[in-house]
Structure 1
Amino acid sequence: MPVSAIRQVVPLGAQWPGVDPFLFAVHHRDEFPAAEGETMRPAAFLEGRSIGGDFSGKDGWSMYHGSEVPGFPQHPHRGFETVTVVLDGVVDHSDSLGAAARFGHGDTQWLTAGAGISHSEMFPLLDPDATNTMELFQIW
């Protein structure tokens, strides 16, 4: 009888359980509200959210570490690789060396996180008239 390569099946959640201490995987799916004009911010009250650390999923979305635009403002990583796949929505990525790019809607980014370099991953809301869906997964 053949042995299955599948070791474990778990429900898809925000953070996936890992069997390897050197592998971290997350999944984000948010139904952000319409954008507030050209600010790329949610046209919604932010009351009741822990701004700077909002992972609540309240109303179907989180601000994460963003205070105005959802996402992850400047933060360091050191000495590992990240792969980000954006299934829907866009990510604005920038780093402390001046590199910047927007990717999304099926794009994949492979990032080598080097010592002394900070980067940010923000989720701009581009549609002022409809829901701004964001879905991505990331493996470190």
Structure 2
Amino acid sequence: CDHSDSLGAIARFGEGDVQWLTAGSGIVHSEMLPLRNQSQPNPLELFQIWLNLPAVDKMCEPSFTMLWAEQVPKIRRIHTDGRRVEVVVIAGAFDDTSPLHPPSNSWASKDSAEVAVWHLHLDPGTSLELPPTRSAETIRTLYVFDGDGVQIDETHLGCDTGSVLRSNDITTLQSSGGADCLVLQGRPIGEPVVRKGPFVMNDEAGLRQTFIDYQRTGFGGWPWPVDGPVHDPDRKRFAVHPNGFVEEPT
């Protein structure tokens, strides 16, 4: 995926990477999907997850961050027969494994928010226990996006289905046929939410002002010659930050 934004950042990411944008006072971005492989398939599995900001942080400085797959913590448990269970810890600690630091202005940076984003992989015939949250107010959802599905007590969740789980209890997932799942959780901010198009605010007045700001300033303008830039097809994964710093996965 080729990224460009109004801050001046560009990137190419994939293969398990995580791009984290904090919109704050406003950012415009483009995500293009060039067919880099001309003679073979170009598979894509992409999730765009929206995480709200509390009112006090709504107008923070926008930011662009890359979490490369090689750096994102992973928990791997291999059975003696080779069957594997893996947890990719994108946000929120899983047992004793902590994630990379989220952007400082994100709701995920607040420990009390209990925000978590985990990618779970279960080989056929394996199981996994999800640790309990500290607060019963924390909402945890599970979405099965690949494989045969998971069993939770007497309930089977097949592919392309999801469920809200009781977060402050240990939940055991069992998979007879294998599954890949996404866990999303967080404590509600507890403020009104008003949304239209790509904008999320706390009230209608704030939403109207956001549209006015965008029409007047374009959130800093678009520094690229086309609306949907694609990058050098021969270049591997990389990021160029607004300050010119060039980053590549290691």
TM-score after normalising by structure 2: 0.30
Greater fraction of residues in helix: 2
**Structure with larger RCO (C-alpha < 8 A, sep 6+):** 1
Please report the TM-score for the alignment, with normalisation by the length of structure 1.
Answer: 0.49
Higher Cα radius of gyration: 2
